């Protein structure tokens, strides 16, 4: 696969590259990240390779991320119009102001206006609800977003870090009211974070939301920098990744190393290739603090894992689901025991009746 082999995002006509450039690290305002100059180089290289999807948020690096994108791309219509620029609302940039963040109408519209100014554009291609605001009714949020879509300031909307039942409520409501639905679902998804497969992934498949995984390398744990014998990288990245470094993580890294060696590749590329093949995934968000990291991540598109390798990684990291999914293996026998449906045979259960049994 190549970066310019575009896919439609969910049940929409929006064409995006299979990898999305995450801009959370644009700017050094938090004491780490990419300089303005290197951020510009990363964007230029990503676009030159065929990438057209860039993702940021209103409060990344204290809003500097949006400003960097706007200065470099937004003020040039010939560049900007060729791209899918996504940003998010919810984050509060004004401490002490209860309406400075969240998903209420006042906050959503205000955040959009400020993002447009920083991005130096008159429209946002994809506007994400960044995380669930339990204090705001979802119909208020969806109505505000619909107003932004109808005004032309927003083209499409998406949702991130929100329970599956709330996303489903929002999209069914939008369907019946003739409003714009969420077309994308941004969730943490990696070999070390598969709990999303219990509710969020099936919901996205059923409702037609394109999944855009964030942190596919689990905060760098699956980047190849961290092994039992070494932990490379700067202090900030080591401290952040250290939260997730445990025996399970090292076991997965070991296996990724074996597969990487067989393909003359890297641990990070194998981890990214696995995420890309998962059901419902449209475009995977890659974050690069350095140009060299971007180059390595882009090469993951050249890697094709075998069915055996995918099955091995799946078995190694398969999550244990709670109720009711943990009962799912029993249901086929209850539903159609003794027959084959859609190619799946189910044996009868001890509760099943025989032809000679009396039914009441």
DSSP bridge partners of 84? 53
Q: Residue 335 domain-assigned? A: no
| CB neighbours of residue 46 within 10 Å | 25
Q: Residue 333 domain-assigned? A: no
Q: Residue 346 domain-assigned? A: no
Residue 139 in 3-state DSSP? helix
| Set 6, 60, 156, 226: catalytic member | 60
φ and ψ of 54, to 5 deg: -125, 130
Q: Residue 222 domain-assigned? A: yes
Q: Residue 355 domain-assigned? A: no
Two tokens at 294? 């971007």
Total number of domains constituting the chain = 1
Report helix angle 105-119 to 138-151, nearest 10.
40
The domain containing residue 229 runs over which residues? 7-317
Q: Residue 354 domain-assigned? A: no
3-state secondary structure 216-277: CCCCCCCCCCECCCCECCCHHHHHHHHCCCCHHHHHHHHHHHHHHHHCCCCHHHHHHHHHHC
Q: Residue 348 domain-assigned? A: no
Catalytic annotation present for 127: no
Beta-strand relationship, 19-22 and 53-55? parallel
Q: Which residues contact 55 (CB under 8 A, 6 or more apart)?
A: 20, 21, 22, 23, 86, 87, 126, 128, 186, 212, 285
Question: Which residue, chain included where needed, has tokens 């303005």?
Answer: 36
In this prediction, residue 266 carries a pLDDT of: 96
pTM, 2 dp: 0.93
Walk along the chain (360 residues) and give the pLDDT tens digit of each residue.
Answer: 899 999 999 999 999 999 999 999 999 999 999 999 999 999 999 999 999 999 999 999 999 999 999 999 999 999 999 999 999 999 999 999 999 999 999 999 999 999 999 999 999 999 999 999 999 999 999 999 999 999 999 999 999 999 999 999 999 999 999 999 999 999 999 999 999 999 999 999 999 999 999 999 999 999 998 887 776 555 555 566 767 888 999 999 999 999 999 999 999 999 999 999 999 999 999 999 999 999 999 999 999 999 999 999 999 999 999 999 999 999 998 899 889 999 989 998 877 666 676 777
What CATH number is attached to the domain comprising 247?
3.20.20.100
Dist. CA 221–CA 312, nearest whole Å: 19
Q: Residue 310 domain-assigned? A: yes
Determine contact, residues 196/167, Cβ cutoff 8 Å.
no
């Amino acid at each position: 696969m190549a970066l310019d082999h575009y896919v439609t995002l969910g049940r929409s006509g929006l064409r995006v590259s299979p990898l999305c450039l995450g801009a959370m690290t644009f700017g050094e305002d938090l004491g780490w990240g990419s300089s303005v100059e290197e951020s510009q180089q990363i964007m230029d290289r990503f676009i030159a390779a065929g990438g057209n999807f860039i993702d940021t948020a209103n409060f990344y690096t204290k809003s500097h991320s949006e400003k960097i994108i706007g200065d470099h791309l937004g003020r040039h219509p010939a560049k900007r119009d060729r791209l899918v620029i996504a940003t998010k609302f919810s984050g509060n940039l004004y401490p002490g102001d209860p309406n400075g963040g969240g998903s209420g109408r006042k906050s959503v519209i205000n955040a959009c206006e400020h993002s447009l100014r920083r991005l130096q554009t008159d429209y946002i291609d994809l506007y994400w609800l960044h995380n669930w605001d339990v204090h705001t009714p979802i119909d208020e949020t969806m109505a505000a977003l619909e107003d932004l879509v109808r005004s032309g300031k927003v083209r499409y909307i998406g949702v991130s870090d929100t329970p599956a039942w709330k996303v489903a409520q929002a999209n069914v409501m939008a369907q019946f009211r003739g409003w714009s639905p969420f077309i994308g679902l941004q969730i943490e998804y990696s070999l070390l974070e598969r709990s999303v497969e219990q509710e969020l992934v099936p919901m996205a498949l059923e409702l037609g939301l394109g999944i855009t995984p964030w942190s596919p390398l689990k905060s760098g744990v699956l980047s190849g920098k961290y092994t039992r014998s070494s932990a490379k990288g700067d202090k900030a990245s080591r401290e952040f990744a250290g939260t997730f470094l445990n025996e399970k993580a090292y076991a997965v890294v070991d296996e990724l190393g074996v597969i990487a060696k067989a393909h003359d590749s890297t641990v990070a590329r194998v981890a990214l290739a696995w995420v890309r093949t998962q059901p419902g995934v449209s475009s995977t968000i890659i974050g690069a603090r350095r140009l060299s990291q971007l180059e390595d991540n882009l090469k993951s598109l050249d890697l094709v894992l075998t069915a055996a390798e995918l099955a091995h990684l799946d078995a190694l990291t398969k999550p244990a689901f709670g109720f009711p999914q943990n009962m799912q293996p029993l249901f086929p026998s209850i539903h159609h025991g003794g027959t084959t449906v859609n190619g799946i045979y189910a044996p009868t259960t001890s509760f099943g009746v025989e032809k000679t049994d009396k039914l009441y």
